[in-house]
Structure 1
């Protein structure tokens, strides 16, 4: 397993003049159904070392994540988890839906952060200039400055902790939905493109929880619109110049053994 993430990056940013910083990560972006979920964990200069075992959620077993989640909630200065539904993903696209989920997570924080440290190289939280009247309703009027960092979930404890809160919250939703539609195997695959999920799509077609605007596998001729729609996220990516404050960080470990983002 990779070296444990720490608060070194977060503390360096806080010493530069911030009073509160929100580590942020998302899960569910690449799933075929269910919500996309964003987690945030707020830290300050007085925040102690993260609970032992905190890692990027993809590197942990489900049991380890479930065990760590309550410890993270007690440890964090504040935390928030926000979701955007499959209906919102279909209506607005995956990137605006991630933005909506992120704004909902931010609204749950008890203290407004001075900055947001976001995993990856794309700032999906800040509304782009071209997003007009047809974007999601419910976005916050003001977003703190966003710093993006590649592989922050492997290096930064607050971001790794946020990924665990987001993953456990989304997993609970998918396990609940699996009771309604057991044939898709969501209790195990959490809505990702596992063989049993694709086989069920082929046999039964999509449910109301599927992202039907996507090119869903296994449908064959069952819905031509799915065959003609763009691949997930491609049409929603904003211009490269909307990405700012990117910090390049070399990978600190191997990819997770479980499902992707």
Structure 2
């Protein structure tokens, strides 16, 4: 019973965490528009107005999808194109990366062996990706954020890589623990702490791993201190050519690390 109560509390905190991140993104983009950081003509600011709208819609969709249970698990399954899905994610984070003087890159292949169609809960997968990208921006002082969609043999793979401060080897086993936060990464203070990290809950990567586990995905993290971190999310190939979940959902497990390959 105590374990169930704790799990429910974490789910509620996770929902608050992600909605809070959306509101912070809205505030950041709106303030930059007001200050004229992106220009003043409609043509100049249109991409950022779209990012503002999409960030607001993301928060509203998240609340609507989780208004009953709040659990970090697939709620409504549908089929969608991961290629365009990631393009939208990249556009959403472009102004936030620009605010921190970072370059956001979306890299794709010219073709994909089995296409890019995914079957899953798009809102949950969005939570997974947005939390990892947010962390990439949070811990990168200068340089680049890369969002990639690749084939590795038959599998569909998403990579999120940064040129940030990295994660020490002895901390890698801790980063997915809920509510765990380190004041430093690799012995270096978080560079963008004033805007992104100050009110963090230590839940972003926990949420990402929960979503990966619920969809039967594998997640790997590789990091070098002072060089950067790369998260790799693997969508295993399925005979029907559509990646993602199938008819049998993995059971909810207290061992979120079951989805992690280090």
Measured against the shorter chain, the TM-score band is: under 0.3
TM superposition score normalised by structure 2: 0.27
In proportion to residue count, which structure has more helix?
Answer: 2
Q: Indicate the structure whose relative CO is greater, using CA pairs within 8 Å and at least 6 residues apart.
A: 1
